């Protein structure tokens, strides 16, 4: 979408809009044919002091609307000064170009899938570094978009389950480390790589189990039980020598409640991974185990084995939110929306309505602020309950947050 700014005076009051209005991030403010009832109504829609834009493809309609507005002013015998001030922004003919290319999430899935099947010591670590760098930078540049893409993919498909699961766990641990726990980059780097490789020894089994209806066999159960040690052994054979990384992988399934400060460096990382691993596993639509809503999955990792608040689980919730980007929620007005951006606190994200109160798809997503009473969230909704096809490429631009959306 190439955007051009629009002067508010170009918008005809009381007439259907000839084009959709969006904000600087491409978020829909008013759809085509919407009728603006007054200037005050327009300012309420846009927000006082903010700019509005249209897609450059609609610029012809903008021009016609602008000419119509001039003609209206002339017929109303407005002064020449008022007419002269009614003009398009000087930048109107100049499309906005994205500063950076968005990541191809499906390609990253494929790369990670190949990585987890790589048994060549000469290529494994270089492949891992490329994927880790890509995911780490994307989480820094677009944390909401990263969560949105990976939670959506985890919740809706079984292809390359092991790879998608590893990417989501790594992304969530990265955000918790950076935004909540404030761990050093050297620690975070080990955390990310351990997250990506924790299940390396059972990648093929994980993918098979995602579509297996029958109960686990004794052999499959044994493989699952020994995979932490087997994965550490596999990584060592592939050239990994970092003892904290290897110990983290060995410990990532151990149940170890209690404060993080009382644990060894590897145990701290393993505990965070263990809670994120638990969350991600509950989202996946595996044939033998129906997924649950992201909010319910997050609640499960918030409490430890003793039903006490878990420090690592709490850090994940603070980083990702109770309602994470990529999840569905029901609003107070009975609309169903998809979370697109985290809000000022964990329970009031920005959302895009995809099903209206009549149960019909909206066509164009409509942005709502859940911190307002009319649009507050009343329930989390599992992906399987929403019968709307989500276009990832179309929705991802809505995750671009302004500085006002987050407290950091």
Percent of the chain with pLDDT over 90: 55
Phi, then psi, of 362 in degrees rounded to 5? -80, -20
Residue 92 lies in a domain: no
Final residue of a structural domain among 268, 286, 320? 320
Distances (CA, A) of 268 to 157, 171, 263, 395: 31, 17, 6, 35
Range of the domain at 20: 3-85
pLDDT greater at residue 384 or residue 292:
384
Same domain assignment for residues 310 and 347: no
242-275 pLDDT, tens digit per residue, is: 999 999 999 999 888 899 999 999 999 999 999 9
Task: Specify the pLDDT at position 296.
Answer: 81
Tell me the pLDDT band of 80, cut-offs 50, 70 and 90.
low
Task: Specify the pLDDT at position 263.
Answer: 95
What is the arithmetic mean of pLDDT over 159-174? 95
Task: Specify the pLDDT at position 100.
Answer: 42
Kindly report which listed range (96-105, 169-178, 188-197, 310-319) carries the lowest average pLDDT score: 96-105
Task: Specify the pLDDT at position 89.
Answer: 41
Same domain assignment for residues 119 and 267: yes
Final residue of a structural domain among 320, 355, 385? 320
Residue 271 lies in a domain: yes
Same domain assignment for residues 211 and 260: yes
pLDDT greater at residue 87 or residue 102:
102
Same domain assignment for residues 180 and 262: yes
What does DSSP assign to residue 30? Answer: E
Task: Specify the pLDDT at position 87.
Answer: 46
Tell me the pLDDT band of 34, cut-offs 50, 70 and 90.
confident
Question: Is pLDDT above 80 for 169?
Answer: yes
Burial class, 97, CB count within 10 angstroms (exposed 0-12 / middle 13-18 / buried 19+)? exposed
Residue 121 lies in a domain: yes
pLDDT greater at residue 30 or residue 154:
154
Task: Specify the pLDDT at position 168.
Answer: 97
Same domain assignment for residues 71 and 115: no
Kindly report the CATH number assigned to the domain that includes residue 109: 1.10.3210.10
Kindly report which listed range (61-65, 220-224, 364-368) carries the lowest average pLDDT score: 61-65
Cα gap 112→106, rounded to integer Å:
10
Cα gap 252→100, rounded to integer Å:
35
Same domain assignment for residues 66 and 204: no
Same domain assignment for residues 340 and 196: no
Same domain assignment for residues 52 and 160: no
Count of structural domains within the chain: 3
Q: What does 162-214 look like in DSSP terms, one character per residue?
A: HHHHHHHHHHHHHHHIIIII---HHHHHHHHHHHHHTTGGGHHHHHHHTT--S
Same domain assignment for residues 175 and 29: no
Distances (CA, A) of 11 to 39, 60, 167, 364: 9, 14, 45, 20
Residue 279 lies in a domain: yes
Same domain assignment for residues 197 and 176: yes
Cα gap 118→123, rounded to integer Å:
8
- Using only C-alpha atoms, the chain has a radius of gyration, in whole angstroms, of 25
- The strand order across the sheet containing 350-355 reads 361-369, 350-355, 336-341, 328-331, 377-381
Cα gap 110→204, rounded to integer Å:
14
Percent of the chain with pLDDT over 70: 81
Question: Is pLDDT above 90 for 2?
Answer: no
334-356 pLDDT, tens digit per residue, is: 999 999 999 888 889 999 999 99
pTM of the complete model: 0.73
Same domain assignment for residues 283 and 305: yes
Final residue of a structural domain among 295, 320, 345? 320
Question: Is pLDDT above 90 for 12?
Answer: no
Q: Are 183 and 272 in contact (CB under 8 A)?
A: no
Same domain assignment for residues 305 and 332: no
Question: Is pLDDT above 80 for 383?
Answer: yes
Cα gap 3→98, rounded to integer Å:
10
Residue 204 lies in a domain: yes
Residue 93 lies in a domain: no
Task: Specify the pLDDT at position 93.
Answer: 36
Tell me the pLDDT band of 57, cut-offs 50, 70 and 90.
low
Task: Specify the pLDDT at position 33.
Answer: 67
What is the arithmetic mean of pLDDT over 225-246? 97
291 sits in which H/E element: none
Residue 100 lies in a domain: no
Residue 230 lies in a domain: yes
Average pLDDT, the chain: 84
pLDDT greater at residue 195 or residue 89:
195
């Amino acid at each position: 979408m190439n955007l051009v700014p629009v002067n508010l005076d170009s918008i005809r009051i009381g007439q259907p809009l000839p084009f959709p209005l969006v904000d600087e991030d491409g978020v829909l403010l008013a759809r085509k044919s919407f009728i603006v009832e007054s200037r005050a109504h327009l300012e309420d829609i846009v927000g006082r002091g903010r700019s509005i834009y249209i897609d450059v493809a609609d610029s012809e309609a903008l021009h016609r609307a602008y000419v119509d507005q001039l003609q209206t002013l002339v017929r109303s015998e407005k002064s020449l000064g008022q007419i002269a001030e009614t003009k398009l922004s000087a930048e109107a003919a100049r499309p906005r170009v994205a500063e950076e290319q968005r990541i191809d999430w499906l390609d990253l899935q494929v790369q990670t899938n190949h990585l987890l099947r790589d048994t060549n010591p000469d290529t494994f670590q270089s492949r891992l570094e490329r994927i880790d760098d890509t995911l780490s930078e994307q989480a820094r540049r677009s944390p909401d978009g990263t969560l949105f893409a990976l939670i959506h993919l985890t919740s809706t498909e079984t292809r390359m389950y092991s790879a998608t699961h590893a990417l989501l766990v790594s992304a969530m641990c990265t955000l918790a480390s950076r935004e909540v726990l404030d761990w050093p980059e050297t620690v975070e780097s080990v955390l990310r790589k351990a997250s990506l490789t924790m299940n390396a020894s059972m990648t093929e089994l994980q993918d098979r189990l995602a579509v297996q209806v029958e109960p686990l066999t004794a052999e499959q159960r044994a493989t699952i039980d020994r995979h932490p040690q087997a994965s550490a052994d596999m990584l060592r054979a592939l050239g990994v020598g970092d003892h904290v990384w290897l110990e983290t992988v060995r410990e990532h399934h151990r149940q170890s409640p209690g404060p993080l400060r009382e644990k060894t460096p590897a145990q701290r990382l393993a505990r965070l991974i263990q809670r994120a691993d638990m969350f991600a596993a509950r989202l996946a639509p595996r044939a033998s185990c129906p997924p649950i809503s992201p909010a319910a999955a997050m609640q499960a990792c918030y409490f430890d084995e003793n039903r006490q608040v878990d420090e690592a689980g709490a850090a994940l919730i603070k980083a990702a939110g109770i309602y994470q980007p990529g999840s569905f929620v029901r609003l107070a007005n009975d609309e169903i929306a998809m979370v697109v951006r985290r809000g000022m606190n964990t329970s009031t994200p920005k959302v895009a309505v995809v099903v209206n109160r009549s149960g019909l798809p909206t066509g164009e997503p409509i942005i709502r602020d859940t911190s307002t009473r009319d649009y507050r969230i009343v329930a989390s909704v599992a992906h399987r309950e929403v019968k709307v096809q989500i276009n990832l490429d179309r929705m991802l631009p809505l995750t671009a947050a302004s500085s006002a959306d987050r407290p950091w």
